[in-house]
Every structure is written in C-alpha cells, then in structure tokens.
C-alpha cells in the first residue's frame, strides 16, 4: 500500500526534528554565531579546522550515498546482481589511495577548490573553463538526478505528489546547506546513522521475506536461498557472454576503467574532497579511512535488497503490477517496492533513511556549487574586492538559485527513463578520463603544461563522444576477441562504457605527455606543485586499517569471483 501510517509519519517527523534541531544548534553554538566567524568564507565553505575524523567520514558517505544508490544501484542489483557492488568496494581501495597520495598534495599547497588547483598548477584560463563546466555538470546532471530520483522514490512510497516531493526535498536541503559546511558535516553524522539503520532494517526484512517464501526463517536462510535461487546474481566478474558485460566488462572493474571512475570521483571532485580540505592531514586521512570501512557495508544496504526483490519477483511474490513486464520491466522499482511491504514503523524508519541519503547529497552538492561559484567565479571575475561577509552571502544565494534551477530542470531530462545509476555514470563518464589525466599529471609530473591540460579538458570530452558514436560508422567486431567490444541490444558491436573511459584516458595522457615534452623543450615554463616524499608517509594506525580493508576486499572478490 503506497502510503505511510501515522506512526511512520511520527518516526519521520522525529528524524526531521533531530536533524534540523542539531543543525541549528551547531550553527549557533559551534560557530559561535557572533558575526565574525559567520563572515569567514573559508569557515563557511570548508569548516576549516572544525570537522572531526568521524564527521568527515560520515559526511563523505552521506554526500555520496543518495537516491542513485538506493534506487539506481538496487535496480542494478535486481538486474545484474552483486557485480554492481564493485562501484562501492573498489571505492574503498580508491579512498585509501586518495588519502595517501591526493589529500597531502591539496593540503600542502593550501588548495581549497578544484579550479584553484588548476589555476595554481596551470593557469586561470584552464581553471575558469573547468569552473564553468563543473557548475553546469553539478547542476544539470548531479543535482537534478539526485532531486528527481529521490522525489520519485519518496512519492512512490508515501503516495505524495511528485512535484510536492521535489520542492520539499529542495527546501529541506536548503535549510541544511545555508548553515555552511560545519552544519552539513555534523548533521551528516545523524544522516548516516539513519541511512545505515534504516537501510539495514530494509535488508533484514527483505532477506526474511525470501526465507519465509520458501518455508524457512531468518536472514541467514534468506541469504543462502538467494544464492541458490539466483546464483548468477552472485558473480563479481562477468564473462563476455554475460548480457550485462557491456555495463561491467570483466576484469576492467579491477584493472581498467573502474579506477578512472573512482579516482576521478573521490580524488578530483569538489563535491567529495571538500569534506577533507578544511582539516589537518591526520584528521583528513582518518576520516577518509572511516569512509572506506563504511563503503564496504554499502552493498549490504543497497545491492542485497535488489537481489532479494529479483528472487521474490521470480517466485511471483511481486509481478507486473509492481515492476511491469517485458520491455516495460523497471528494475529501479526494486527498493520502493520493498519499502512498501515493510511493517508500520520500520517503513517510516526506512523512509527517513532514504530521505536522509537524498537530503545529505543535495546539501553537499549545493555547498560545492556555491563554493566554486563564489570563490572561483564571483571573487575572481565579478567582484575581486568582495568582503568575507559578501562572499558568504553570495554563497547562500548560489545555494538557493542552484536548487531552484535543479527543481525546474529535473522533470525534463528523462532521468527516470534512462535508469538512475546509468544516467549519472553515462554523462559524467564523458569528461572523467580527460579530467583525471589533467589532475594526475598535474600532481606528479612537473613538466605538464597548461596547453596539455586544455587538450585533456576539451580533447578528452571530444574523444569520449567519438568513441560513443564510433559503432554507428565502423565495425568494431575485430575488438571482440580481446574483450573490448560486445554486441548491444541492436546487435551492433559497441565498446563497453568502462573500456571507452580507459582508452580515452590512455590517449589523453599520451597526447598530454607529447605536448608537454615539445613545449618544455622550447623553453615553456610550468608551475609545479610542492611535493616531497615525506608527505606520503602514513601512521601505523592508518596502515593497519588500510591493510584490513585490503584483506576484506580480497576475501570478498575471491568468494564471489
């Protein structure tokens, strides 16, 4: 039944009061709210020196996990199974790499925004192009998809008007975001608590339902039954004859394009790195390591329910009324369908978890949009002499404007028709390889020139578009024996998405190196960053934590290969 009972609304209202009340308390007490600190732009945008390791780790996860995971990744779990968890589990390794190699470079060079890094390392032209580009990407792709997928899920669970859900989510997120990064960071701790508690409750009930359907009880029995009834859904590495190979092409998830997806997202993304840029190195690393541990847990919350829904669909517990049928089968309905069968009270808790995930991601994204616009566009181009108080006020206005734009644009992009998770991956994937090439060479090769960076920015995007549409003009079957091409639904050989990213990255790096060597041989000077080996040393505690994560991941991939 697609509506919430009174007790569900009470549970949700308690969540809303706790998050809002704690946010107001943080804003008034932790910041001092004496007018001085409130007017400090770095404090507002970065919460400089204020976030603890557990707040940083929680905020990273809260900002990352949203409707595209709860709805989109559960839908992918329904469709292809545990293999989609590679986005979460490989992210855990990536976070360790970012903590060891990326964050020290940012902190050592006092870098607070990604365009600032590009300006400091290359030049203002590269930085401004990317600032405008990131603003467009964050608003048109990320903000809109989070808003719309979240609104669809909440509307289907609570039986509320879709448009009302859009505006309510935007308003709640604005309330959190206007308090600045301190409020976002500390309220994200509560958001993650509700996210995990509600998510685990949904998984528990879903596994229990599977067990009961087959005459057994308990989540262990439910899990074992899932592995029996849907054995093909518990493979991490697909073979080329798997119908989902085009989405997750074999070993590419371990050795190829998946690294580009994750390293670009976690290491070169204002939305994510901003959480750690206001802390000292030990605190930032501890927070990122905490986030890596939480990442290991995420597939239990967002993938297993999708597989459970698939097993129940096969067993006729659910049917066309819930998921559609044939060409109209919609796997993204998995999580909302499961939430609608939860008992009263728990449904409210899971509803709060989903809302927490969406609102936290919206708040983090809006804050990053405001940070880039204020510090990298407004301050540099529009009003270079702006006071700290003016910058904060401009940031607040940017938050509201971005959210309004997201609400107005979201219904017209066809996000629900593409599949939520695939929508975000497809469009960000056009730019990720070039951006990552520009960052990684900018970090660790002093000869990289600004012209080479411009090629990566523009040329990387054009290469991605070229590879995307190449199958329309060329027969790529010769790549099939190597695993780099597979027939799509139309019978045309296509390069899998993750492999395309790998090719574009490799070409971008090669051309950047050639351009840089040519220019430096002719006397072109570059702006190298301050980097030394001692920056990359870690504490014993961090090293032990990282090793535990590596062992756990090795075990998971060995068991579910």
Residues 6 or more apart whose CB falls under 8 angstroms from that of 255 comprise: none
Strand, helix or coil for residue 486 = strand
Helices (H), 413-459: 415-418, 420-428, 432-444, 450-454
Domain ranges, ordered by start, for the chain: 6-31+40-428
CB crowding 116-142: b at 16 or more within 10 Å, else e: bbbbbbbbbebbbbbbebbbebbbbbb
| pLDDT recorded at residue 50 | 62
C-beta separation of 55 from 189 below 8 A: yes
| pLDDT recorded at residue 511 | 95
- The CATH homologous superfamily of the domain defined by 6-31+40-428: Sodium/glucose cotransporter (1.20.1730.10)
> Roughly how many angstroms between the first and final C-alpha of the chain, as a whole number?
38
pTM: 0.82
How far apart CA 120 and CA 310 sit, in angstroms, is 50
pLDDT tens digits along 299-353: 998 899 989 988 888 887 777 667 766 666 778 778 878 877 778 877 787 777 7
C-beta separation of 433 from 504 below 8 A: yes
| pLDDT recorded at residue 414 | 63
Neighbours of 472 (CB within 10 A): 8
Residues 6 or more apart whose CB falls under 8 angstroms from that of 533 comprise: none
Residues 6 or more apart whose CB falls under 8 angstroms from that of 280 comprise: 49, 107
pLDDT tens digits along 441-473: 988 888 999 999 989 988 988 998 898 888 888
C-beta separation of 313 from 75 below 8 A: no
Neighbours of 220 (CB within 10 A): 11
Closest CA to 429 of 137, 136, 72, 62: 137
| pLDDT recorded at residue 321 | 67
Closest CA to 57 of 279, 362, 213: 279
- How high is the mean pLDDT in each 10-residue block of the chain (561 residues)? 75 80 70 47 59 80 74 84 90 92 86 82 85 85 82 78 86 77 68 78 88 86 89 88 81 84 84 71 90 91 89 80 69 79 78 78 83 86 83 86 87 61 68 89 88 90 88 82 78 83 92 93 82 84 93 91 84
Dihedral of CA 141/144/148/151: which sign? Answer: positive
How far apart CA 366 and CA 464 sit, in angstroms, is 27
What are 487's strand-pairing partners? Answer: 493
């Amino acid at each position: 039944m697609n509506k919430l009972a009174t007790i569900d609304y009470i549970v949700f209202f308690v969540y809303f009061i706790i998050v809002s009340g704690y946010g107001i308390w943080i804003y008034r007490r932790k910041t001092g709210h004496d007018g001085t600190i409130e007017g400090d732009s770095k404090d507002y945008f970065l919460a400089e020196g204020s976030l603890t390791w557990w707040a940083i780790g929680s905020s990273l996860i809260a900002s990352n996990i949203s409707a595209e995971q709860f709805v989109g990744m559960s839908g992918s779990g329904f469709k292809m199974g545990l293999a989609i968890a590679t986005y979460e589990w490989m992210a855990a390794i990536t976070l360790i790499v970012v903590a060891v190699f990326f964050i020290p470079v940012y902190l050592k060079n006092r870098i607070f925004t990604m365009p600032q890094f590009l300006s400091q390392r290359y030049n203002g032209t590269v930085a401004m192009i990317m600032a405008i580009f990131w603003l467009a990407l964050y608003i048109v792709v990320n903000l809109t998809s989070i808003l719309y997928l979240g609104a669809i899920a909440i509307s289907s669970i609570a039986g509320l008007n879709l448009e009302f859900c859009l505006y309510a989510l935007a308003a709640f997120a604005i309330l959190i975001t206007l308090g600045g990064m301190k409020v976002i960071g500390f309220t994200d701790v509560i958001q993650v608590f509700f996210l995990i508690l509600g998510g685990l409750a949904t998984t528990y009930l879903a596994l229990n339902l599977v067990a009961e359907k087959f005459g057994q009880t308990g989540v262990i029995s439910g899990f074992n039954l899932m592995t029996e009834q849907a054995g093909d859904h518990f493979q991490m590495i697909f073979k080329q004859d798997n119908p989902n190979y085009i989405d997750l092409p074999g070993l590419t998830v371990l050795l190829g394009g998946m690294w580009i997806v994750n390293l670009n997202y976690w290491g070169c993304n204002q939305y994510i790195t901003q959480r750690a840029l206001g802390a000292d190195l030990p605190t930032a690393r501890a927070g990122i390591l905490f986030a890596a541990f939480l990442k290991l847990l995420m597939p239990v919350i967002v993938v297993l329910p999708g597989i459970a829904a698939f097993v129940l669909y096969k067993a006729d517990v659910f049917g066309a009324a819930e998921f559609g049928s044939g060409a109209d089968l919609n796997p993204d309905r998995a999580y909302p369908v499961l939430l609608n069968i939860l008992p009263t009270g728990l449904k409210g808790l899971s509803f709060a978890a989903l809302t927490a995930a969406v609102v936290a991601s919206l708040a983090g994204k809006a804050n990053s949009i405001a940070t880039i616009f204020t510090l990298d566009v407004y301050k540099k181009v529009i009003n270079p002499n702006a006071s700290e108080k003016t910058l904060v006020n401009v940031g607040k206005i940017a938050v509201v404007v971005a959210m309004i734009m997201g609400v107005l644009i979201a219904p017209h992009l066809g996000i629900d028709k593409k599949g939520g998770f695939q929508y975000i991956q497809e469009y960000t994937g056009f730019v990720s390889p070039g951006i990552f090439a520009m960052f990684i060479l900018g970090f660790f090769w002093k000869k990289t020139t600004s012209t080479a960076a411009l090629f990566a920015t523009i040329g990387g995007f054009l290469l991605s578009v070229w590879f995307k549409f190449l199958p329309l003009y060329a027969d790529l079957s010769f790549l099939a024996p190597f695993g780099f091409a597979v027939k799509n639904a139309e019978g045309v050989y296509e390069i899998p998405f993750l492999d395309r990213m790998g090719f574009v990255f490799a070409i971008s790096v090669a051309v950047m190196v050639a351009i840089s060597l040519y220019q430096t041989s002719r006397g072109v000077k570059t702006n190298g960053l301050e980097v030394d080996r001692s920056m990359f040393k870690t504490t014993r505690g961090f090293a032990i934590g990282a090793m535990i994560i590596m062992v756990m991941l090795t075990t998971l991939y060995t068991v579910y290969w």
